[in-house]
Structure 1
């Protein structure tokens, strides 16, 4: 028997058959009608005898003789024998019952899906071995025959029973990890190539692990075809930025929110992503989810239409609709200063890193009016500390921290903990208090953003 880790990968490899009861033709004599279920077909087929034994061992035969209809991808005896040998099982009895059950169920789909109705794409099996107990995804590819998850080919199709249809396959369909799904889908081949370049095993090892769950935003081939890596970032850092570790974030759980990724800045701080669900699902306003909720045993994959580059502080200001007035102030209302260029600097090519205290739209709306450019420029500069990535953990706990000088020249103070629901309280350069930090640590490659509920005003007397 292999290591326990491999064993659990195996456990993600068995599949389940759904058996249902159906009615046959009336014999015209008023006697009870007979039915031929999927189980009956399996019993009558010599080359499916191990499948029948597996269904019996897993106590699925009675459960699966239901109304259905079901579609069953039925592995042959040789398929089961290869599976047992590959995973160091001496016999079917050596496979733990819970593993066997989920493996069998992974071969069953609700509904009657004849070969003529199958198309390339994802369907859900009846296995609930997916992250969060979700139904696992099966990838059907009909480009040359019918292949499931890139491992099992249909060798005999459309054997119909009263409660569904059976397609005989030449391999047991394993319970897929995120890596298995990526490898099986030809539209993700560029991603697989990037993940494994130069014999790199970091990503495949990570994303095959079942110790924790992952969310992967997987760029399709066309996305890689147009990606130019404008900031010459390490491609491994870019790939890490597409991974959320420790959580399977399904589409029905997403909202307008920031999440932390597996990519880090130079200090080891996890880079953030901004997810927006106002119209579909977009990431950093640059990449859209094209196929959601590809379910694996260790997480979920969302296929996206663009590679998501490492963010600057400007990225988040532009992506988050709560900062639309701030973006207008930094661009249209202050044309004499190229704030975007200044705040996009990274890797020491400017005044980076930056700590930005970003006022929300409501903060700007609370002003009697947005000042003219001459007065607005120093106000905006008063929200930026250059040359420092000051995270909330760098502030004085249960005390007051005075920031380094801002781009405008003044400092301001931050007091922890905050009052009135604020994470921290702020007194700006002009001495105004009652200002709150309401969100912290939106981490970019070139700095960090903290969110303010009030616009800061510098000292105008100095």
Structure 2
């Protein structure tokens, strides 16, 4: 009997050894680590995710079984049930497969990101794999200051579940496809901006939740606090606040920081309006980072939503005057020197910054400024003394008129009187590369307008290629 029991025990050990090893030397081979899809299939609480991956466009189950690495934010079955209910779907089968694919891809980061990585960063943005405005990947906002949350709607309930091709973080809510408003609301550093959008005239929250595309220059809380300088947001005129906020919105395009760098410098229009309901201009320059109107720098670029893009900026961009653009654009640096250092007896900067009428000297906005470029000043044989130079500069400004290019006779001549007192005549179309030609007070006819309609809140600038001389 003892011999029989011995052989039974020996046979059992042999079976165990065989089942744990496929190596000739008898060492154990651990079970293969499942990939992300296999891991989800083995997790009962992720069965809805598996069903969604199999149903969605793009063969996502195969994609997420690939080499990776991937980080997948995996909503639970309860999260999917809530998502379906909130969006009016009775079942997963009612969700359009193309939409379902994009929603799922919004949970996939093309890198292996651990919870400790997120905690070390604190908060910020990363890119998912769904496609947003301009065919760029939609951004995901994470905050790891108190647990780990995404887009301020989903919390990690089980972190760092390892797979052979990446990492899974199980979350308690589905991440919908965010608009730029959703991304701003998610980030606590934009809470002042969100409050301002809600307070201002024009229902701006709904406007910026629309189709777009929009490019939004989003001031941080610190930027707003500096701008308000102790004034409560509720005490700011809501119509004025609306225009200031719209001055941070480029409507009709989603412009990445890379696109701006490629353009180097120039002007675009914002959603704010100036005299005659003309859209206000915005000057950008990328020679030292990305800066707007010479005062506001991008500190977080390319936050992508479904309907646009956000660039966080460090300064609120107030309604510009014609002086704002002259100071911001290095093309006019010699003009600025002429208006300030070379003519100290006349405070041109103060006069051309005016936004109110009724001034005792009758130099009232709006102003139309014909702004000579640096090259135009360089072409002068010599810069005149202060007295004559002051009159020359006044010969470049029309007061109480916002004369845009659309207001000029085309074809034909348009005559206007400058602050200095002499008339100038603008002729359309221009010759050569000139948009228009100008005849100045001295009778010179070879002055060209080379850029038009830089619109400020108190007037408009047209760049010219030669300094005009009065009679």
TM-score (norm 1): 0.90
Structure 1 Cα separation of the partners of residues 421 and 356 of structure 2: 23
How far is 1:33 from its partner?
A: 8.8
Q: Is 1:37 the equivalent of 2:35? A: yes
Partner of 2:446: 434
Task: Say which is worse superposed, 420-429 or 38-47, in terms of deviation.
Answer: 420-429
Partner of 2:80: 80
Structure of higher RCO (CA pairs closer than 8 Å, 6+ residues apart):
1
Change (3 A) 1:384 1:136: same
Partner of 1:7: none
Q: SS where residue 272 of structure 1 aligns?
A: strand
Equivalent runs, 1:271-282 vs 2, <5 Å: 271-282=280-291
Structure 1 Cα separation of the partners of residues 21 and 313 of structure 2: 52
Conserved in 2, the CA contact under 8 Å of 1:27 and 1:33?
Answer: no
Conserved in 1, the CA contact under 8 Å of 2:126 and 2:139?
Answer: yes
Structure 1 Cα separation of the partners of residues 443 and 24 of structure 2: 97
Partner of 2:350: 341
Structure 2 Cα separation of the partners of residues 430 and 242 of structure 1: 42
Equivalent runs, 1:243-322 vs 2, <5 Å: 243-254=249-260, 255-322=264-331
Equivalent runs, 1:116-195 vs 2, <5 Å: 116-118=116-118, 119=121, 120-128=123-131, 130-195=132-197
Q: SS where residue 48 of structure 2 aligns?
A: helix
- Structure 1 stretches of 4+ moved >6 Å: 30-33, 229-233
C-alpha offsets along residues 251-295 of structure 1, whole Å, 9 cap, x if unaligned? 011131111111112421111111111100111111111101001
| Structure label with greater radius of gyration | 2
Task: Could you tell me which runs of 5 or more consecutive residues in structure 2 were left unpaired when the two chains were aligned.
Answer: 1-19
How far is 1:349 from its partner?
A: 4.9
Change (3 A) 1:201 1:335: closer
Structure 1 Cα separation of the partners of residues 326 and 297 of structure 2: 18
Change (3 A) 1:349 1:298: farther
Q: How many residues align?
A: 431
Structure 2 Cα separation of the partners of residues 50 and 137 of structure 1: 24
Partner of 1:15: none
Partner of 2:4: none
Change (3 A) 1:57 1:26: farther
Q: SS where residue 194 of structure 1 aligns?
A: helix
Q: Is 1:387 the equivalent of 2:385? A: no
Structure 2 Cα separation of the partners of residues 364 and 306 of structure 1: 32
Q: CA RMSD in A?
A: 2.0
- Answer 1 or 2: which has greater helix percent: 2
How far is 1:28 from its partner?
A: 3.8
Partner of 2:372: 359
How far is 1:228 from its partner?
A: 3.9
Task: Could you tell me which runs of 5 or more consecutive residues in structure 1 were left unpaired when the two chains were aligned.
Answer: 1-24
How far is 1:419 from its partner?
A: 1.3
Decide which of 52, 61, 64 is 2:50's aligned counterpart.
52
Q: SS where residue 430 of structure 2 aligns?
A: coil
